[in-house]
Amino acid sequence: MANTTVPTPAPAPRRRRRWPKILAGIVIVIIVLIVAAWFVCTSSAFFKGVVLPRASKELNANITVSEASISPFSQVVLRDLKVQPTGQEALLTAPEVRLRYNLTDIMRGNIHVDEVLLSSATINWVTESNGVSNLDPILSALAKPSKPSKPSKPAQIDIREVAIKQATIRQTTIYPGGQRDVKEIAPLDLTLTGLKNGQTGKLALSAAVHIQNNPPPPGTNALLDAKLDGKFDLVLSQDLKPATIQGSTRLDVTKADGAYAQAAALVGNLDCNVTPTEIKQVALTFQRNGTTLGQIRASGPFDMEKSEGRITVEVANIDKNLLNIAAASMGIDFGPTTIASTNEIQLAKGGAMITAAGQFNLNQFELIRTNQATPPLDLRADYNVTYDKSASNALLRTFTLNGTQKGQTVLHGELSSPMQIALGNVSNALGNSTLNLTVNHLDLADWKPFLGTIAPAGDLSTKIQLISQEGGRQLNFDLNSEIKNLTAVSGTNQISQLAVSMQLRGEASDMKTFKLPAYKLQVAHLNQPLATATGSGSFDQANADVQLNAQLMLAPLSQLEPSPDLNVSSGNADLKLHLTEQAQPGGAGRAASPGPTKVSGSFALANFSAQAGSNTFRDFGFTADYDVGMTPEQVQIHKLAGQLLQGHDQGGNFDLTGTYNLTNKAAQLTAKLAGFNQAGLGPFLEPMLSGKKLVSIALNGNAALQYDPNASSALKADLQVTNLVVNDPTGQVPATPLEARFQADASIAKQIAAIRQFVISLTPTDRASNQVQLAGQVDMSQTNAYQGNLKLTADSLDVTRYYDIFVGSAGTAATSKPAPETRGQAVRAPSTGAAPSRASEQEPEGMRLPFRNFTADASIQRFYLREVQITNLQTAVKLDGGNVTINPFKLALNGAPMVANVALDLSVPGYKYNTTFNANAIPLAPLVNSFQPERKGQVGGTLTAQANFTGEGTSGASLQKNLAGKFDFFSTNLNLKVVDIKSPILKLLVNVVSSLPEISRNPASALQSLGSQITGGGGAAASSGGLSGFLQRSPINSIVLRGTAGSGKIDLQQGLVQSPAFQAETKGPVTLAEVLTNSAIYFPVSLALERSAAQSIHLAAADIPTNAPYAVLPDFLTITGTVGKPEKKINTTVLAETVARTAGGFVGGNAGQLLRGLGNLGGSQGGTNQSTGGLLRGLGNFGGQQGGTNQPTGRGGGLLQNFLGGSSTATNAPSTNKSINKLENLFR
């Protein structure tokens, strides 16, 4: 059989393994990522952008560097390191910080550091006067609780070198007002080398010390410079405890001035020689010029490893040389004071039990300040006390204290038997023990150098008793203190014969729980109680409960410090307070946390009767109940409610609730007022009522405030006044009830305030609806540049009745009765002398308002106030930094148009201004009748005015220099009766005109009477004189004033006064003075008298036309003096000549020629008739106008000079009459 061959199948192809490649790729990617992470994490950008911000957040500071070079295994170098606490000055700056180390050794547990370098660093610690410092933010961050670390074996360290080179450590204290104390160590060089377990290291120190104190008064400036050098050898044990310390430090004072002057040439040496088993010597010695001033030294066996031993501490030879340096800032000299003390301190149980025994001697203790010294006091104390931490107790074995002064014991303390004080559980309890401490009749006057003026006199006695029971677990204490014949100082007022007493009883359990069953404090004056406080309380480590009741007797208290604005006849104030605090449980393993604090109680003011300024209180009362809670995050006002009382009558209630978040400063408040009436509001409102009596009022309202500085805020308020009725004793104000309502709705979002509603509504009248609205918004995103727009609108307002209530009665029409005609009677005019000269006024400082492009517009269609009617009032005010612009300001005043513009620059001292004013035919009667009701009906007509003034500054000196402008005032149909004239210049003019008949007939007698009218006080114009009746029947109809201002003067270009009886016209300068009412005036007056009146007294020319309304008189009158005290000069010679000529013309014939001749004799013509000419010139001399040797005698020129001042000697003496330094006085 033939063999068959079976074909062998081909082997399947082997499958390629891919996972090694994938694994290799993953490894490569991880290596790449590690390398990339290595370069990223060690880069300067990562350190500055990631590490430092996290560190800054943890430390509440901004930590920055300009460059960071990091080699993770060996080195870190930082350039320009700066640590600035949040919101404070920089605390640390360092140009370079270098750290070289071995990371491999550190990871094995061995701290191997080759170098730590801090180069030219500055530590700047700044403390404000209120105790806040730039270190506080970092300390608060470090104060966060951390988890306790588990005990571990001591680390192995190998620190080759730590170096601080050329560093500065500065501490600055800043006082209010800018003064500061600076304490500085610079430059500081410190090197520490070779610090290892069980090895010897070396410490070298070199520095300069500078102290400069500049405290506010009454502190004393001080300066001290010193050098500090030291070297020490240090040995650490294997567990890093100090084993051996050997070395010394020396401080040399090189300069000392001011309060530190006594420290000059002072040398301080600290010598240290400590072995593992003994403190051979630790001594601090002070010397000056080789003489020892004092020493504190310690020595004795001490096992550094076990912290056990017996150490002797001695204080020797401490006297004023050192004490005065310590108290230099207080300005105290310790005189013959010496301090000595010997103490033995024994440490056992690994330092857990400490026993101290010794004595302290204070000999001839004396304080000297401002040349006052306390009597010497000798004080000695002996003690023996043990503190055992393991047993949680303290044992006071012995204690005695004695102080003698002036040969008497003023201080004594003793312990009856050993006293145990338990700080935990006590197993070996001792018996009861008592500690007594007594202060016996300590004279406070002896301690005035120390107490100052707070309590310059008094007799102090105090007894304190401390009783230990139950092995010290229970401590009872009792305090009784009294000060008799106390003198206290309050401001400039000194109060004597006061008595202060205090009683306090309490107990403590295990020094954890404290109870005050009762305490009392009382202040009395002459055995009459002034203030009393009583209460109780309890405290423990987590909770507190305190109660306080206080009473004040207001009448006797007010008498101790009298005030002219306050007179209290009766009243008591009572305060009740209950404070509780309860901690929140901490849970398992956690300490309790502070819990909510609650303050509740009440306040009451009863039977209060007083006169406080213009406010009168009669049997007034006020009560309030409060309940306030506080947590670390929030303050919550649960209740603040109270009421006002008048005797037994309720005067109104209020209620306030709200919350305040201490974290985000958000607040929410709700307030409600209900039932406020005349009983509660009367004492506050009646001083505003101008003598009227408040009959009734009802006030109710509510308000809600929601404030969040980081979100939206809102305010809503609604306040309503109803049934406002007053009683006017004059009967001018009707007892008609009035109302008022205020509504507001505003919000703030994203620092933009929007006023949606701000409405004031008054009682409508027949003339007005009486509602005004304000709307707009204010952008407060820039604190010094608020922007926005406000608009005030009203259709019609009538405030007459409210004005009558709060400003004054409407009054009745004044009836001006003419004064009876009298001849030769001197009616004294009011004295209107100039103000006394004084130093130039101080201009207000320039300022910039916190507004930018801020506008406020007002539009009122109709406004009524008594007889004043304003229509179409439109104004716009723009505020932009220091610039204030009012443009336009226009209205119609009783139908007359008025426009004004004002531009102010407040940034200039005294302010710069440019004002314009235009008014056309303003009726004067409504203004006078409304604002001067006592002169109602005295003035009529209209006023047309134009004015423009520019200037800088408002004082007289500034007006002299900078005032410029022009003015034009024209009034017609005034109908101003001469008896109603108030202006001193105008009154003088009228009195001269009134006396013309007497002057023409008998100059000497007439001018004497006229002088009495002008220089005297009181009286109306034209109250005497031959033309007085005529003038009183002829009111002044027109006054015109037109002029300019500039170059320190006001130039009156035209002044015109016109009435049917006369016309006076003048022009002249007003020379401005620093006191404006002292501004000099010079006004030559041209007078024209009504034709028939002039003819009747022979002052009209014979040829005057019959249709001429006035007869022009010769120029005989000049008004001089000052604005505040005008004077007159009258040329009687001219008047006499005119009378002679006109009389001659009327008489005719030989007699007329004779009279005309007599008139000529008084002039400038020559002639031989010297006796007649001398007679007329003598008449002229009566007015003081001419000189000469022919002096009149008897009642001649001397009398007229006294009254008229024509030739009286001018003086620069200021007037003693008071006047107001105001620009408007120039136009009175």
Find the helix packing angle between 1170-1182 and 1132-1147, rounded to 10°. 130
755 within some domain? no
CB-based contact 604:622 (threshold 8 Å): yes
Task: Please name the residues in contact with 1200: beta carbons below 8 A apart, sequence gap of 6 or more.
Answer: 1003, 1004, 1007, 1008, 1011, 1132, 1182, 1183, 1184, 1206
How high is the pLDDT of residue 22?
62
**Which of the two residues, 1217 and 491, has the higher pLDDT score?**
491
Backbone φ and ψ of 158, nearest 5°: -150, 85
How high is the pLDDT of residue 389?
85
* Number of independent structural domains in the chain: 2
Q: Bridge partners of 548?
A: 535, 577
924 within some domain? no
**Assigned token pair, 1210:** 């001018």
Instruction: Quickly list DSSP for 457-492.
Output: EEEEEEEEEEEEEGGGTEEEEEEEEEEEEEEEEETT
CB-based contact 979:1023 (threshold 8 Å): yes
d(CA 1122, CA 1100): 32
How high is the pLDDT of residue 484?
92
995 within some domain? yes
Residue 137's nearest CA partner among 57, 81, 51 is 57
Backbone φ and ψ of 664, nearest 5°: -105, 5
Residue 1078's nearest CA partner among 1015, 1126, 1124 is 1124
Going by pLDDT thresholds of 50, 70 and 90, the confidence category of residue 746 is very high
β pairing state of 912-923 and 896-905: antiparallel
Region of poorest pLDDT, from 508-512, 773-777, 926-930, 967-971: 508-512
β pairing state of 308-319 and 377-388: unpaired
Residue 695's nearest CA partner among 682, 711, 709, 713 is 682
- Tell me the mean pLDDT in the region 39-45: 60
How high is the pLDDT of residue 667?
94
Share of the chain above pLDDT 70, in %: 81
Neighbours of 350 (CB within 10 A): 13
Find the helix packing angle between 1170-1182 and 1197-1204, rounded to 10°. 30
- Residue where a domain terminates, one of 129, 164, 196: 196
pLDDT digits (tens, 9 = 90+) for 90-106: 888 999 988 888 877 77
- Tell me the mean pLDDT in the region 1128-1134: 81
Going by pLDDT thresholds of 50, 70 and 90, the confidence category of residue 303 is confident
Task: Please name the residues in contact with 1102: beta carbons below 8 A apart, sequence gap of 6 or more.
Answer: 1142, 1145, 1146
Share of the chain above pLDDT 90, in %: 41
Torsion of CA 473, 476, 477, 478, to 10 degrees: 180
d(CA 362, CA 320): 12
Q: Outline where 877-916 has alpha helix (H).
A: none
346 within some domain? no
Please list, residue by residue across 625-638, b when 16 or more beta carbons sit within 10 angstroms of its beta carbon and e when fewer do: bbbbbeeeeeebbe
Please list, residue by residue across 983-992, b when 16 or more beta carbons sit within 10 angstroms of its beta carbon and e when fewer do: bbbbbbbbbb
CB-based contact 213:219 (threshold 8 Å): yes
CB-based contact 100:73 (threshold 8 Å): no
Please list, residue by residue across 780-813, b when 16 or more beta carbons sit within 10 angstroms of its beta carbon and e when fewer do: beeeebbbbebebebebbbbbbbbbbeebbbbee
CB-based contact 942:924 (threshold 8 Å): yes
Checking if the pLDDT of 1012 tops 70, the result is no
Q: Which residue has the tokens 């930018």?
A: 852
pLDDT digits (tens, 9 = 90+) for 898-953: 999 999 999 998 899 999 999 999 999 999 999 888 888 888 999 999 999 999 98
CB-based contact 638:658 (threshold 8 Å): no
- In degrees, rounded to 5, the angle at the alpha carbon of residue 339 between the alpha carbons of residues 336 and 341 is 160
- Tell me the mean pLDDT in the region 299-315: 90
pLDDT digits (tens, 9 = 90+) for 448-479: 777 767 777 889 999 999 988 887 788 899 99
CB-based contact 370:449 (threshold 8 Å): yes
- In degrees, rounded to 5, the angle at the alpha carbon of residue 200 between the alpha carbons of residues 194 and 205 is 65
Checking if the pLDDT of 781 tops 90, the result is no
Going by pLDDT thresholds of 50, 70 and 90, the confidence category of residue 1023 is low
**Assigned token pair, 596:** 């909510």
- Tell me the mean pLDDT in the region 548-563: 91
356 within some domain? no
Mean pLDDT over all residues of the chain? 81
Residue 324's nearest CA partner among 311, 310, 312, 335 is 335
d(CA 230, CA 247): 7
pLDDT digits (tens, 9 = 90+) for 950-1000: 999 888 889 999 999 999 999 999 888 877 787 777 777 787 887 777 766
- Residue where a domain terminates, one of 147, 178, 196: 196
How high is the pLDDT of residue 1129?
86
Going by pLDDT thresholds of 50, 70 and 90, the confidence category of residue 296 is very high
- Tell me the mean pLDDT in the region 97-121: 84
- Tell me the mean pLDDT in the region 660-674: 93
Distances from the Cα of 463 to the Cαs of 91, 405, 439, 501, in angstroms? 49, 18, 6, 12
Domain carrying residue 86: 59-138+155-196
Task: Please name the residues in contact with 801: beta carbons below 8 A apart, sequence gap of 6 or more.
Answer: 733, 736, 738, 763, 765
Residue 885 DSSP one-character state: E
d(CA 38, CA 176): 53
